[in-house]
Amino acid sequence: MRHYRPSTADLLSAVSDFLRELGPRLESGDRYQSLVCTHILAMVERELRGEPLADEDEAALVAAIRAGDHDGDWDATFARILNRTVARVAIAKPDHLAPEHRS
């Protein structure tokens, strides 16, 4: 079933635009909170527009790393975790990525 326009991401960006205009008119504490809220909405918008993070049993991975089971394939495990981390940062704060990881 399909909802009418606008898309979820566009709905969010409408709220973001409003908050961005409102922010400067607020007193300092609320202005800070409104900046944080704008940041959160932008993050959610990126998440909605991007590819979902693939399912992975990260609890099992943690246990295996702790047990030393990945010492033998360290580089491959490292690369896999770095890829996933890059995907997370690309949603949370893309500016934080080094140029080599920016899309």
Partner 1 sequence: MPDTRSDPAIALAAAVRRRFGGGTSVENVVQATLGGSNRTLLFDLVEGGGTRRRLVSREETFTGEASPFLSPGQQFRLTAYVHAAGVPVPEPIFEYDGQDALGPGFVTAFVAGETLPRRLIERDDRAALLVQLAEALVRLHGLDVPPASTEPSSRRGASSQPIPSSQRRLGSQAAEAQRQQSDANPPSPDADDNGSTQHPLAFLADIPESGDPVAGMRLRLDALDEPHPALELGLRWLETHRPPQRPRALVHGDFRNGNFMVGQSGLAALLDWECSHLGSGVEDLGWLCTRSWRFGRNADHAGGFGTRDDLIAAYASAGGPRLDADEIRWWERFGLIRWAMFNVLQAHGFAHGRRSPAYAVCGRNTALMEYDLLMTLKGSYD
- Greatest Cα-to-Cα distance within the chain, rounded to the nearest angstrom: 57
Q: Which is nearer to partner 1, 3 or 75 (CB)?
A: 75
Told to check if 78 binds partner 1 by CB under 8 A, we report yes
Residues 36-65 vs partner 1: string with x where CB under 8 A? xx-xx--x--------------xx-xx--x
* 6 touches 17 (CB < 8 A): no
Minimum separation from the CB atom of position 4 to partner 1 (A) = 29
Told to check if 76 binds partner 1 by CB under 8 A, we report no
Minimum separation from the CB atom of position 75 to partner 1 (A) = 10
| Three-state DSSP string of 56-93 | CCHHHHHHHHHCCCCCCCHHHHHHHHHHHHHHHHHHHC
